């Protein structure tokens, strides 16, 4: 904690001088799953903060080993400290393609600080490092060692989790025999292994990943290839977190989808409508307050209700306990984007 506090205090001082400061982690292995920063000269004689000579994308193993030996490279943590004025000026100067539409939206909304979702949807997709940090002459880095992990690779997930006597991290329904140093996670079905080592095995309802847990580079290659093939698993995820709770897809096929949904205590979905699907909802646990157009209903466990297509509705959990229900969708299109929001406590409704 002391190392973190010291680094933060130094970052704040540099930010007051107009620098955009990031934290560079001292590498302890030749990691191919992280980006790197090449350290430049110190910004002053008093502290550790240095200019950034170069940002480097995730390297191959040989290059990562060279970085380790040189001592001139740090892992890019992706954590930043800067003043509001500095970052606003930086976007104005270095990335107007993002900043101009946002400023124009403020003008149209007559002082409102809410940005229309369509404005965000049409902004260029550009990482912060590329948009700002690689262009500015005020980029700075603080070398530090604060027990950081990106948790961006299966190996890093395995490292931070509690392991059994065989070095395995086992989550969900898993049976492991003669299995060592593996990360095995099941969300719905039994996953059984015999005689394997150093693997990441991830079962996610509609797909199973089996990989060398140290081979982080190939994961991006795999996902890119699946997206090019329009694999439905990359377009419509089986499980998702929402501001109000979460859901997972239990089953789907031609013209139907079954979801298990949980709404957290005192939370609610948006007031919404679906153009292409109807929904039959059965409450499994808790109590639901349902709005159908201008009518309100209370539905308890083992009771059901039907929501026709094109009917404005909202599902709310008015209690202090989780609300869990099964939802059977039917229609000619069942994508998650078939939703029109009229009101939303989380700010997702169109202005």
Between CA 350 and CA 224 the distance in angstroms is: 31
Domains of the chain by start residue, with CATH: 1-149 (3.90.550.10), 154-218 (no CATH), 236-343 (2.60.120.10)
Checking 121-129 for CB contacts under 8 A at 24+ apart, the result is 123/97, 123/98, 124/97, 124/98, 126/95, 126/97, 126/98, 128/80, 129/35, 129/55, 129/76, 129/78
Which pLDDT tens digit goes with each residue over 286-301? 999 999 999 999 999 9
Candidate ranges 1-5, 87-91, 246-250; pick with highest mean pLDDT:
87-91
pLDDT at 108 over 70: no
Q: What was the pLDDT predicted at 149? A: 66
Choice between 148 and 183, residue whose per-residue pLDDT is larger = 183
Q: What was the pLDDT predicted at 219? A: 78
Q: Is the pTM of this model over 0.95?
A: no
Q: What was the pLDDT predicted at 102? A: 81
pLDDT-above-70 percentage for the chain: 93
**pLDDT (mean) for 310-325:** 96
Which pLDDT tens digit goes with each residue over 66-82? 998 898 999 998 899 99
């Amino acid at each position: 904690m002391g190392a973190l506090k010291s680094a933060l205090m130094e970052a704040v001082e540099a930010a007051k001088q107009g620098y955009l400061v990031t934290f560079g982690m001292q590498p302890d292995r030749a990691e191919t799953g992280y980006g790197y920063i090449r350290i430049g000269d110190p910004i002053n004689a008093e502290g550790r903060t240095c200019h950034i000579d170069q940002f480097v994308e995730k390297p191959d193993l040989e290059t990562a080993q060279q970085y380790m030996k040189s001592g001139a490279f740090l892992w890019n943590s992706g954590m930043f400290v800067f003043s509001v004025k500095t970052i606003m000026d930086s976007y104005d100067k270095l990335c107007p393609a993002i900043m101009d539409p946002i400023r124009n939206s403020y003008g149209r909304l007559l002082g409102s600080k809410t940005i229309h979702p369509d404005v965000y949807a049409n902004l260029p997709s550009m990482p912060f490092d590329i948009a700002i940090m690689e262009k500015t002459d005020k980029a700075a880095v603080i070398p530090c060692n604060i027990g950081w992990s990106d948790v961006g690779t299966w190996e890093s997930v395995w490292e931070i989790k509690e392991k059994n006597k065989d070095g395995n991290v086992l989550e969900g329904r898993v049976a492991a025999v003669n299995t060592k140093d593996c990360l095995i996670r099941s969300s719905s079905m039994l996953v059984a292994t015999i005689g394997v080592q150093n693997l990441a095995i991830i079962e996610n309802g509609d797909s199973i990943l089996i990989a060398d847990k140290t081979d982080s580079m190939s994961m991006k290659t795999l996902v890119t290839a699946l997206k090019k093939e329009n694999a439905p698993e990359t377009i419509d995820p089986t499980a998702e977190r929402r501001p109000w709770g979460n859901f997972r897809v239990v089953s789907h096929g031609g013209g139907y989808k079954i979801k298990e949904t949980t709404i957290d205590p005192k939370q609610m979905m948006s007031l919404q409508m679906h153009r292409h699907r109807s929904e039959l909802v059965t409450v499994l646990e808790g109590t639901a307050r349902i709005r159908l157009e201008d009518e309100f209903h209370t539905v308890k466990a083992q009771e059901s209700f039907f929501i026709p297509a094109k009917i404005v509705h909202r599902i709310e959990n008015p209690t202090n306990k989780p609300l869990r229900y099964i939802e059977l969708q039917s229609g000619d299109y069942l994508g998650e984007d078939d939703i029109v929001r009229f009101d939303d406590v989380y700010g997702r409704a169109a202005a």
